[in-house]
Amino acid sequence: MQSSLVQSARTNGWAALPPEYAIPPTPPSLAEARAYCERLARSHYENFSVATWFLPQKLRPHFYSIYAYCRISDDLGDEVDSPQQSLALLDQWEEELDACYAGAPRHPVFVALRPTILERNIPRDPFANLLVAFRQDQTVTRYRTFDDLLGYCVNSANPVGRLVLYACGYSDAERQHLSDFTCTALQLANFWQDVSVDYSKGRIYLPLEDLERYGVAVTNIAERNFTSQFRRLMEFEVDRARDWFQRGRPLMGTVDRELAIDIELFSRGGEEILNCIERQDFDVLRARPAISKSRKLALVAKAAAQALWSRL
């Protein structure tokens, strides 16, 4: 019985996702797979394609394949009808990851990832750790302490930065450690931005110990009841996330100029989310803080100016 339930979840779960996500019976060519990943990256995340403007042309296929892997992995954990189906599909996705490392991938993402992995000597762990986090989302919906939340970020956020470093030729522990600070900070900024969105999915990422310390009840979040206690809680969390951004800033001085500009762009984007939260008096319950298009353009223009200056 258990085996049939798992097989049903594997089969039916894909129906909740875009048809192109499904694993094909035969693998595409490398050119087709790379075009697939680039298309996915450009259509899903405008800031990602903007960031790649500052990268050398030869690195872009690596970034597209890594992004496509992260995008589909995230959707398998977040966009499927049930936790059971998500868990079954994540298992199937990990089997494809194993096939990729064994030299026999079928899905276009893994066909594109295979040369990236070989050329950049990327270990399996960062890819697999992301799947640990997405599985955790199916079973864990609350975090007792901030340390518990940081444990989640180790798998949900930090592997992305490490994959980027590997793609750019950096594999040392010191840079990875600095990258972890930035990636965790970005994850925290997104959590604080999406308190109500995450609650609608049954999840609370604000540490429960912090809710208790500031006298905030879960019903405040459920009813979108913004109180002075909740304001103080969010002010504390925003300051804490800013501190993590500051801890990661030295990374920019240890990598080549193009990658430093990308790190700067993403860091400033995350910090701007925190600024948006502050500008609306920390009320993330009644309106989701969002960066305006004009502000996004200003951030990109500044990064572009830095890129131009570095080439003079």
Read off the CATH number of the domain in which 163 is found.
1.10.600.10
In a shared domain, residues 250 and 266: yes
Query: H-helix or E-strand containing 260?
Result: helix 257-279
In a shared domain, residues 103 and 149: no
Q: Which domain holds residue 91?
A: 1-139
pLDDT of residue 162: 96
Q: Among 139, 164, 182, which residue terminates a domain?
A: 139
In a shared domain, residues 152 and 70: no
In a shared domain, residues 120 and 209: no
Q: What is the C-alpha separation between 7 and 9, in angstroms, rounded?
A: 5
pLDDT of residue 2: 43
pLDDT digits (tens, 9 = 90+) for 13-67: 788 898 999 999 999 999 999 999 999 988 865 444 445 555 778 888 999 999 9
In a shared domain, residues 189 and 48: no
In a shared domain, residues 124 and 185: no
In a shared domain, residues 30 and 128: yes
Task: Give the count of domains, the chain.
Answer: 2
pLDDT of residue 312: 46
pLDDT of residue 58: 85
Centre a 10 Å sphere on the Cβ of residue 22 and count the other Cβ atoms it contains: 11
In a shared domain, residues 58 and 207: no
pLDDT of residue 41: 87
In a shared domain, residues 88 and 101: yes
pLDDT of residue 48: 46
Distances (CA, A) of 102 to 99, 111, 133, 160: 5, 12, 23, 22
User: Which of 186, 303, 310 lies closest to 248, judged by CA?
Assistant: 186
Tokens matching residue 76: 């398998």
Angle made by CA atoms 126, 82, 11, in degrees to the nearest 5: 80
pLDDT of residue 244: 97
Answer for the pair 9, 85: CB distance below 8 angstroms, yes or no. Answer: yes
pLDDT of residue 72: 96
Rg of the chain over Cα atoms, rounded to whole angstroms, equals: 20
In a shared domain, residues 174 and 259: yes
290 in helix, strand or coil? coil
Q: Among 118, 139, 160, which residue terminates a domain?
A: 139
In a shared domain, residues 131 and 161: no
Q: Which residues of the chain have pLDDT under 50?
A: 1-2, 4-6, 9, 46-50, 307-308, 311-312
Q: Among 139, 163, 190, which residue terminates a domain?
A: 139
Answer for the pair 175, 259: CB distance below 8 angstroms, yes or no. Answer: no
User: Which of 251, 237, 129 lies closest to 180, judged by CA?
Assistant: 251
6 in helix, strand or coil? helix
Longest dimension (CA), the chain: 67
175 in helix, strand or coil? helix
In a shared domain, residues 119 and 184: no
pLDDT of residue 265: 84
Answer for the pair 64, 112: CB distance below 8 angstroms, yes or no. Answer: yes
